[in-house]
Amino acid sequence: MGNVIEVGVLGATGMVGQQFIRLLEGHPTLKLTWVGASDRSAGKKYHEACDWRLDGAMPAMVRDLVVQECKPAAGAPPVMFSATDASVATEIEQAFAKAGHWIISNSRNHRMDEDVPLLVPEINADHLRLIPVQQANRGWKGGILTNPNCSTVGLTMGLAPLRQFGIRRVIVTTMQAVSGAGYPGVPSMDILGNVVPYIGGEEEKMQIETQKILGTMGESSITDLPAKVSAHCNRVGVIDGHTVAVSVQLDLNPGLEAVKEAYRAFQGRPQELNLPSAPAVPVVLTEEANRPQPRRDGMAGNGMTVTVGRLRTCEVFDYKFVALVHNTIRGAAGAAILNAELLLAEGYLQA
Amino acid sequence: MGNVIEVGVLGATGMVGQQFIRLLEGHPTLKLTWVGASDRSAGKKYHEACDWRLDGAMPAMVRDLVVQECKPAAGAPPVMFSATDASVATEIEQAFAKAGHWIISNSRNHRMDEDVPLLVPEINADHLRLIPVQQANRGWKGGILTNPNCSTVGLTMGLAPLRQFGIRRVIVTTMQAVSGAGYPGVPSMDILGNVVPYIGGEEEKMQIETQKILGTMGESSITDLPAKVSAHCNRVGVIDGHTVAVSVQLDLNPGLEAVKEAYRAFQGRPQELNLPSAPAVPVVLTEEANRPQPRRDGMAGNGMTVTVGRLRTCEVFDYKFVALVHNTIRGAAGAAILNAELLLAEGYLQA
Amino acid sequence: MGNVIEVGVLGATGMVGQQFIRLLEGHPTLKLTWVGASDRSAGKKYHEACDWRLDGAMPAMVRDLVVQECKPAAGAPPVMFSATDASVATEIEQAFAKAGHWIISNSRNHRMDEDVPLLVPEINADHLRLIPVQQANRGWKGGILTNPNCSTVGLTMGLAPLRQFGIRRVIVTTMQAVSGAGYPGVPSMDILGNVVPYIGGEEEKMQIETQKILGTMGESSITDLPAKVSAHCNRVGVIDGHTVAVSVQLDLNPGLEAVKEAYRAFQGRPQELNLPSAPAVPVVLTEEANRPQPRRDGMAGNGMTVTVGRLRTCEVFDYKFVALVHNTIRGAAGAAILNAELLLAEGYLQA
Amino acid sequence: MGNVIEVGVLGATGMVGQQFIRLLEGHPTLKLTWVGASDRSAGKKYHEACDWRLDGAMPAMVRDLVVQECKPAAGAPPVMFSATDASVATEIEQAFAKAGHWIISNSRNHRMDEDVPLLVPEINADHLRLIPVQQANRGWKGGILTNPNCSTVGLTMGLAPLRQFGIRRVIVTTMQAVSGAGYPGVPSMDILGNVVPYIGGEEEKMQIETQKILGTMGESSITDLPAKVSAHCNRVGVIDGHTVAVSVQLDLNPGLEAVKEAYRAFQGRPQELNLPSAPAVPVVLTEEANRPQPRRDGMAGNGMTVTVGRLRTCEVFDYKFVALVHNTIRGAAGAAILNAELLLAEGYLQA
C-alpha cells in the first residue's frame, strides 16, 4: 500500500461529502483530487460552492478544486466516494461503475442488492468476493461497495464478537444523534429538551442490513443471518454518537466471562492488514458503570472504535449491553474510507 | 367525597415535596395544613426553609406554615404524603403509621413489602385489600400505601391494556428525564448533549415492581405476574417526561386491531370513581408517526395521562410501542395523590 | 366590552398563526370564526391543512373551519390578526384594511410606517391616535396596528419604568429562544450546546423600534425617543423566552431605591382598562439573585408579564438589569391580542 | 528551551487539575512527575484517587503516580501548577513559593495582589518584572504567577488589539459554558433549555482583572488601565467556550478598517518566542456573519486562539464585537502552561 491513489467525492458539498473531505485530509494513500456536486455548483471553486458546516476550517487542499458534474469524464479518478442523495444515487453510481470506476458508497440505494457487498470490514471482509459476481452480472469493470446505515454499524459491531455463539434474536433501541439527519436536518424546535421516537425508514434498515452484514458468504451469494431483529429508533439531542441498547439471545450461552473474553479478543481483517483508518481496537469493552457515552467516548480510536459497555445478563434473553458508534465517522464517511482501504489492500484495485 | 380532609407532607422541602405542594394547591378535597422536614428546617416558616425550584412562585398557602419535625405529634393530620429520603423513610413512615396515620409514600422503602400495596390505581386498585392484612400484621391503625418508581408507572400503564392477552415477556428501554434525579441531581457536565446509559438501581426496580403491580390479589397476598421483564435505563437531556420503548410477547396474539381497541377501551377504577386527579383517559393511544414526545405530550391530562404511540408488530415478540409518562406528576407526586383519593373514595378513611 | 366580536387569523397555519389560535381559545370577547392561509391550503379543513406543532392538541373550535384565501371577501370578520409572512404581508394587510377590516399585525412590514402605531399598550397606548391620521392618509375605513419584534418587547417593557428619568443611552445583549425563528427555523446542528451570535435584521429592528415605541405622540405624528440604542443579538438553546441584559444611562439618576420603586409602581393603560389579556403586574421586579430565567419565569402572568431582575448600578452607565419576555406570547401573538383588546376598549371598534 | 523541566500539579484530582494533566501529556519541555491533592487522596495512585471526567481516557503517564500531600517536600519539582480550591490556595501556594518553588496558579487568591503578575502573555508579558519585586517583598526564592478568570481572558484578548487606540469604556455581556463551574458544578435542572443570568463573583472579577491586565508596568508596580468596565455574566447550556459580546469606547476612533487591520496584525511575546503552547494567531478575526460559535470555534489553535467576529460600529460607543475563548484551555489550564513557558523562556527559571 505504499502507492498513493487518487480519489474523488460525489456529492461533495453536503454534510457527508464534507466529512469525506475532512477525513481524507492528510490520508497517507488516498489523495483527494476531484469533487463533484449538483449542476448548480459545477464550475465553481469548492469554497464558493460549499457552505462548510463542520467544526474547524475547510481543508486547504479542497478550497480551490473546481466542482465537477457528477458524470464520468476524463480526469475523474478511479475511486469515487459517494455521498450523493438517495434520489439520484442509483443513476450516478451505476454510470461511474459502468465507466470503470470503483464506487465506495455511503448511500442506501445499492446496499441490499444481492451482488453488492454491504461491508463492515472487521465483520465481513470476505463479502468482497461478491465483486467478481457483480462485475459478471452487470458487465462492469468497476464496481460498487457500500457501508451500512450509521446505527446498523453500532449494532453489528456490538454483536460481532458474539457471532461465534450463534445470534438468534435481537431487540435493540437506539438513541441517535442529530448529525445523522444532515443539515438543516432536525429542527431545534423538535429536539431541544425532547426525544423523538421515530426516524423514517431507520428501523427497517437496521433490521435487514444486520441480517445481511452478519450473513455467510457462499460460492457467489450471501446467506443472511437467520436471526430475528427488532429495532426501536429514537432521536435525542446529541450532536454526534449513536447509542444502542441491545438484548440478545444466543444459540449457545457460554457464560458472562467467556462473552467478555470474546469482546476483548475481537479483531478483524483491517487490524490484520493494518489499514490506515483501522483502529487498533475495533470494539473496546468498558467496565465503567455509566459508559459508553456519546460525548465522552465517541472519538475513541479517532471515531473508528465502537465502545461496548454495561455487558450483563438479560432477564429475558441471554445478554444485554450498550454500544456507541460515532455516526458520522465509523457510521458514514470513515466506514467508506476503511472500505476503500480494504479494497486496495486486498488487491482489487492497483494503486 | 364532599368533605375535605387535612393532609401533610413529610420531606416537604425537597423536590418531590415541592411537587406535592404544587399539586395540592387548589385540591378540592385534600387540604394541606402541615409540612415536615429535617431537624435543621424545623421551626422555620416554609418559605424560609425551602429553596423553591419549581417553575412559577411558591404557593401562598404554604409560605407561612411552620415546618415541623418528621415525628408523630398532636396536630399532625391523618394523611401524610411521604417524600422523605430513602435513608430515613423506613423509620419515619412506620412511626406515623403506628401512630394511626395513613402514609401515602413516594419512597421506595416499603414498595416491595408483602403486605404493602404498590398501587397504580387504574391497574390494581384491588391491591388495597392488603391494607387489613398490613394492619393485622403490624398492629397498626394507620397504614402505608406506595406508588411505583416513575419509569415503572410508564411501563405498567403502557402494558395494562394488554394484560387481558397474557403478558409473557417484556424488554424495555427507557430515556429518562433529569427531574427524576431531584436537585441538584444530574450534573450538567454529564448530560448536556449526551446520554448516560445507567441509572443506579433503576433497572432492578422496574423489573420487580412491574411484576408486583401487574400481579393478582389473592385472599391476603399478591401473586406476582409470572412475566420476565428486562430493562435498559438511560438518562437523557430532558427536563420532565420519561419515554419507554417496549417490546412485549403475549400468551395470546389477538391481532393489531384488537390490541388498538384494547388501548382505546382502557379505563380504570379512578375513572369509575371520578377521582379528582384521575384523567378522563388514563392511557391515550396516538396514531401520529412521531409521538409521544416528552415536551409535547408530557402534560396530557394535566400530567396524569400516559401517552402510547407507535403501536406496531414486533419482529421478535408480538408488539412494540412507545409510552410516555410525566415522571414528576403521574410518576411521583400525582401518583401518590391519586392513591390518597382512592383510599378515601374506597372508604378506608373517613373524611 | 361585554359583547363578543368575531375575528380571523391571516397566515393561520404557521407557527405564529397557531399561537394566535391557541391564545384565542376561550377568549371572553374575541371569537375566532375565520382562518386564512396560502392558496394551497385554501378549501381544506384547518386540521387537514395544518401540521400542529404547539404543545398539546389542536383546539377543537378550529379543527373544522375551512381555510380561506387571504383576500377580503364576504363573511370575513372585522378584525384580522395577521401572522402572514413578510414577503406577502404588505399586500394582504393593505387589501384588508382598504376593505374596512382592522389588521392587528405581528408582521414587521408596516411597523415603521409613520402613520402606523407600533404598540406596547402599557407604554404607548396613546399612539393609537395615529389611527385617524392613517385612515385620512390612506383613505381607509379600517386600519393597521402593529406590535414590535419579540426581543424589542422585552427591552422596551424593561425600560418603560425608567422613562420618567430620561433614557439617554442603552446597550443591550439578547439571548433569544429558538421559537422566535418559527418552524423548522433554527437547525439543531446549529444550536445544540452552542450559541449563535447573530440573528439577521434583529439588531436593527430592536434599535429603531425601541426609539419609536418610547417616542412621544404629537398632534399627528410620533417624535422618536432621542436615545441611542445598541443591540447585540444572540440565539441560545432555549425553547421559549428571550433574555435581555441591559445597561442604561439616564438624564437624571434618582438613586437605586427610587428606580426600584418606579418598577414596582409601573402600571399601564391595559391594567386601568382591565383588558382580558392584561397581566395584573406588567413588569415584575424580582430580587432573587439568579432570576429571571426563561424556563422558570417565562409563563409569569400567563406569559404576558415581563420579569426584570438583577437591577443594580452599572459601572459604566447608571443602571443595569436583566429582563425576560415570553417571546411567542407577550412578544408576538399575545401582544397582538392585547392590541386588539385595547382597540376595542378605546372605542375604535364597535363590538 | 531544549531542556526538559519537571513539573507538578497541586489539586490534581479536580477538574482543572485534570485539564493540566491532559494538556501536559506530550508537552515538549514540561514533564509531569508529581501530583498533589487533599489528604484523603494522598498515598493512593492517581488512578485510584481520581474520577476522570474529561473526554477520552486518563493519560498513561499519570495513572501510577502516587498522590502527594500539598506540602513542600523533598522530590517536589521546581514548577507547580496550582489548581487548588480557593479555600486553601493561599496557604498552599505561599508555602511552596517560600520553599523556592514557582507557583503557576489558576486560583483567584493572589491575582489582585500588587506584586503578583496577572498574565495574559500576549498582552502583558512585561508584567513579569513584578517578580523581583515580589521576591524582595516576601523574601521568597520562588514566586507566584497567576492567570485570569476564564471570561476575563476572552474579554482582554478581544480588547488587546484596540489598546493602541485608548480603551475608555467597556460594556460586556458573557454567555458562559458550564465547564467553568467545575464538577458537579451546574445542576442540569438549572441549565437545560435555560439561561441563568448570574454567576457569583464573576462580574467583579472581570471588571477589576481587566483593568490590571491591560495596565502599565512601571518601575515596580502596575498602573491599572483607567477604563470603566461593566460586565453582565450569564450561564448558558454550552459545555466549553465562553462567548462575550463587547461594546467599547476608544480615545481615538481610527475607522473600522484600521481597527480590523489592528486585529489582523496582533501578535504577542509568546509568538515572538515561539512558545510551545502559543498559537500562531492569538486572536483570529472572522468575517463570517454568524461566528464565532463555541462549538465550532472553541478549538481554534488547539483551544489557545481567541476568535473575534462581528466587528462593527456601535450605535452607542465606537465598536462592538463578539469574542470566543475556550474557557478550560486558554481560560484556565492552557493559560497557566503558557505562563510557565514564558517564565522559562524569559530566563526566570533555568531548566
Establish if A316 belongs to a structural domain: yes
Regarding whether A169 and A144 lie in a shared domain, the answer is no
Given a cut of 50, whether residue C270 has pLDDT beyond it is yes
Structurally, chain C folds into a number of domains equal to 2
Which region, left, alpha or beta, applies to residue A217 given φ > 0 means left and ψ of -120 to 50 means alpha? Answer: beta
Q: Is D150 a catalytic residue?
A: yes
Q: Is residue D351 part of a domain?
A: no
d(CA D333, CA D336): 5
Give the model's confidence band at A55: pLDDT under 50 very low, under 70 low, under 90 confident, else very high: confident
Q: Say if the Cβ atoms of B188 and D53 lie within 8 Å.
A: no
**What is the chain A residue with the closest CA to B207?**
A315
What's the average model confidence in pLDDT over A43-61? 92
Inside any domain, residue D292: yes
- The answer to whether residue C350 sits within a structural domain is no
> For B193-241, what is each residue's pLDDT tens digit?
999 999 999 999 999 999 999 999 999 999 999 999 999 999 999 999 9
Whichever domain contains B98, its CATH number is 3.40.50.720
Interface of C with D in 293-312 (CB under 8 A): 293-296, 309-310
User: Which residues of B does the annotation mark as catalytic?
Assistant: 150, 242
pLDDT confidence of residue B1: 44
Q: Is D350 a domain residue? A: no
Do the chains contact at D171 and C316, CB–CB below 8 Å? yes
pLDDT confidence of residue A48? 96
Q: What is the mean pLDDT of residues C274-300?
A: 96
Whether residues C293 and C340 fall in one domain: no
- Interacting residues of C67 by C-beta distance below 8 A, sequence separation 6+: C12, C13, C35, C36, C37, C41, C42, C43, C44, C45, C46, C49
ipTM of model over 0.90: yes
- Whether residue A192 lies within 8 A of chain D, CB to CB, comes out as yes
B contacts of C51 (beta carbons < 8 Å)? none
* B314 and B167 housed in the same domain: yes
**Chains contacting D with at least 3 CB pairs below 8 Å?**
A, B, C
Which of C167, C175, C247, C316 to mutate to probe the D interface, most D CBs <10 Å? Answer: C316
Average pLDDT on B288-316 reads 97
pLDDT averaged over chain A? 96
Mean pLDDT along residues B291-310: 97
C309 and C164 in one domain?
Answer: yes
| Rg, Å, chain C Cα set | 19
Q: In this complex, is the C-beta atom of A236 within 8 Å of any C-beta atom belonging to chain C?
A: no
- pLDDT value, residue A3: 80
Contacts of B207 in chain A (CB under 8 A): 315
pLDDT at D2: 57
Q: What does the pLDDT read at residue B2?
A: 57
Verify that C250 and C310 share a domain, yes or no: yes
Q: Is B183 on the interface with D (CB under 8 A)?
A: yes
pLDDT at C351: 46
Buried b (16+ CB within 10 A) or exposed e, C35-51: bbbbeebbeeebeebbe
Answer whether A264 touches D (CB < 8 Å): no
Q: In this predicted structure, what is the pLDDT of residue C3?
A: 80
pLDDT at A349: 80
Q: Which of B55, B299, B300 sits opposite C299 (nearest CB)?
A: B55
- Does one domain contain both C144 and C159? no
Q: Which phi and psi angles does B196 have, rounded to 5°?
A: -110, 115
- pLDDT digit string (tens) for B197-209? 999 999 999 999 9
DSSP symbol at C76: -
pLDDT of residue C349: 80
Please indicate whether, in this complex, the C-beta atoms of A239 and D193 are within 8 angstroms of each other.
no
Question: Coil, strand, or helix at residue D81?
Answer: strand
CB contact under 8 A, A192 and C178: yes
What pLDDT sits at residue A86?
93
The arithmetic mean of pLDDT across residues B46-62, rounded, is 92
Size of interface A-C (CB pairs under 8 A): 56
CA distance D55 to D57: 7
Same domain, B202 and B312: yes
Alpha carbon of A148: minimum distance to chain B alpha carbons (Å): 20
Considering only CB atoms, which chain C residues are within 8 Å of A179? Answer: 189
- Choose the weakest-confidence range: A307-311, B38-42, B336-340, C334-338: B38-42
pLDDT along chain D (351 residues), means of 10: 86 95 96 95 96 89 96 95 96 97 97 98 98 96 97 98 98 98 96 98 98 97 98 98 98 97 98 98 96 96 98 98 98 98 90 46
Decide if B165 is inside a domain.
yes
Whether pLDDT at B117 is above 50: yes
| Residue D347, CB-side half-sphere exposure with 13 Å CA sphere | 1
B56 to C239: CB separation less than 8 angstroms, yes or no: no
| Structural domain contains residue C89 | yes
Nearest Cβ partner for B309 among A197, A245, A292? A197
Contacts of B193 in chain C (CB under 8 A): 192-193
Long-range contacts of B275-281 (CB under 8 A, 24+ apart): B275/B121, B275/B338, B275/B341, B275/B342, B275/B345, B276/B1, B276/B27, B276/B28, B276/B29, B276/B341, B277/B23, B277/B302, B277/B304, B277/B334, B277/B337, B277/B338, B277/B341, B278/B121, B278/B304, B278/B338, B278/B341, B279/B304, B279/B305, B281/B305
Tell me phi and psi for residue D83, to 5 degrees: -120, 30
The answer, for B190 touching chain D at a CB cutoff of 8 Å, is yes
Among residues B338, C295, B28, which one has the least CA distance to residue D187? C295
Q: Is the pLDDT of residue A350 over 80?
A: no
Mean pLDDT of B129-147: 97
Q: Annotated catalytic residue: which of C50, C70, C101, C150?
A: C150
Would you call D195 and C207 a contact, using CB atoms and an 8 Å cutoff? no
Instruction: With H, G, I as helix, E, B as strand and everything else as coil, classify residue A73.
Output: coil
Whether C145 and C289 share a structural domain = no
pLDDT digits (tens, 9 = 90+) for A195-213: 999 999 999 999 999 999 9
Reported as a single tens digit per residue, the pLDDT across A124-181 is 999 999 999 999 999 999 999 999 999 999 999 999 999 999 999 999 999 999 999 9
Q: Is residue D338 part of a domain?
A: yes
DSSP per position, B34-56: EEEE-TTTTTSBHHHH----SSS
Note whether A196 and A137 are same-domain residues. no
**Average pLDDT in the A80-90 region?**
96
* D277 and D210 part of one domain: yes
| CB contact C332 to A (< 8 Å) | no
Task: Give the span between the Cα atoms of D349 and D347, in whole angstroms.
Answer: 5
Contact D20, D9 (CB under 8 A): yes
Looking at the structure, do residues B137 and B164 belong to the same domain, yes or no?
no
How remote is the C-alpha of D323 from its chain's centroid?
A: 15
> Residues D172, D194: one domain?
yes
Q: Chain B: list its partners (3+ Cβ pairs within 8 Å).
A: A, C, D
Cis omega before residue A282 (within 30°)?
Answer: no
Residue A291 reports pLDDT greater than 60: yes
Mark whether C150 is an active-site residue.
yes
What range does the domain containing A119 cover?
Answer: 5-149+333-345
Position A2 scores a pLDDT of: 57
